[in-house]
Amino acid sequence: MPINLIYLKLSCKKDFLRITKTHRKADMAKNDYSQYQKAVISDYYNNLDMIMLGKLGELVTELYLADTPTKQNRLWQRAHKAMLKLKIPPAITDHIMEKKDVEILAKNLQDWLTKK
């Protein structure tokens, strides 16, 4: 049913406001971004690898400080996901995850940062 017909059938102002609010939300869902917003989004995706390397560096720090095995396991899972997003070769990722040695991860991270 077209929106204009819905407006004609409504007699209550409260219902009219509810319809117009949902109509506005639908307009915003069309992703009409300003030039500035488009530039910010573009810059984010252009620098996504450096952002992920930074997050992986934070994970290395958290792994050094992790005090319980459950916390370490969660952090290693997050590190694995980060390496997959960075498209690290599977052989390297598998080796790091097999050893689960923070120093090996830190050395590889240092190499990846110097390459970027």
> What is the structure's pLDDT at 116?
74
Q: Per residue in 45-76, pLDDT tens?
A: 999 999 999 999 999 999 999 999 999 999 99
Q: Per residue in 98-114, pLDDT tens?
A: 999 999 999 999 999 99
Q: Where are the domains of the chain?
A: 3-32, 48-115
Q: What is the DSSP string of 24-79?
A: HHHHHTT----HHHHHHHHHHHHTHHHHHHHHHHHHHHHHHH--SHHHHHHHHHHH
Dist. CA 64–CA 79, nearest whole Å: 13
> What is the structure's pLDDT at 28?
53
> What is the structure's pLDDT at 115?
87
Dist. CA 99–CA 8, nearest whole Å: 69
Q: Per residue in 83-97, pLDDT tens?
A: 999 999 999 999 999
The pTM of this model reads 0.68
Is residue 35 a contact partner of residue 22, using CB atoms and an 8 Å limit? no
Length of the chain: 116
